[in-house]
Amino acid sequence: MSKVALIAGATGLVGSSLLEKLLNSDRYSKVISVQRKPNSITHSKLEIIQTDFSNLNDIQLQNVDDVFCCLGTTIKTAGSKEAFIKVDYDYPMELARLAIKSKAAHFLVITAMGSDAGSIFFYNEVKGKLEKDLSLLSESLKISIIRPSLLMGDRKEHRAGEKIGVAIAKFVNPLLVGVLKKYRGIQTVDVAEAMYKIALNLSKDHVHIYLSDDLQEIATNR
């Protein structure tokens, strides 16, 4: 069956890989990308909706099957905690409501390892609150929560801390076995591959959380 996908964050590290995979898939006849900036990608299946994300509720779509949310930023990039909340909580929640309005069956969202609404760490608290509130929408659509560990890939923006973390992860990853596998860094292309496969094999659970080691296994073996 040919499906329609909606993706937000397609210009980001995971999103760009996922967009390419969706466009090259014979399982999707149309891919709608909601994004702030235009890009150089052109494809017969691609429809771009350019928006600042403040008016997602005004977008009118029909017959969308899968919605992929790859939105995310840092407090440094956003400029303030308030701006961070807007990108990492408000916009994903509005996108989920758009998914329901568009009759979508499945909402897949990237959060983070350590997401916890009760966390003392602001970043994890916001991600946890997003997961908690998205779960309240699960009567209307399936929710797949993607919790990768350290994302490994070539970022356009310079993040010194993450570059150091990636360098360390290359040596530490093989040492993380058993219950520690979920802490292994994961390539962004593997996260995109896992999300694509999860969308094609809908879980029976209304809400399902995929940890980093789950994502790696799905990307590599299934």
Sheet of 66-69: strands edge to edge?
46-50, 28-35, 3-8, 66-69, 106-110, 142-147, 207-211
pTM of full prediction above 0.95? no
**pLDDT per position as a tens digit, 32-89:** 999 988 877 889 999 999 998 988 988 988 889 999 999 999 889 999 999 999 999 9
109, two tokens: 């969202």
CATH code reported for the domain at 3-221: 3.40.50.720
CA distances from 83 to 50, 98, 153 (A): 19, 21, 25
β-pair partners for 33:
7, 48
Q: Quick count: other Cβ atoms within 10 Å of Cβ 88?
A: 23
Q: Residue with structure tokens 């360098």?
A: 167
Any idea of the CA torsion for 111, 116, 97, 218, to the nearest 10 degrees? 40
pLDDT number for residue 1:
65
pLDDT at 175 over 80: no
Amino acid (one-letter) located at 142: K
59-75 exposure pattern, b = at least 16 Cβ within 10 A, e = fewer: bebeebbbbbbbbbbeb
Helix (H), strand (E), coil (C) string for 119-165: CCCHHHHHHHHHHHHHHCCCCCCEEEEEECCCEECCCCCCCHHHHHH
**pLDDT per position as a tens digit, 121-162:** 999 999 999 999 999 999 989 999 999 988 876 655 545 444
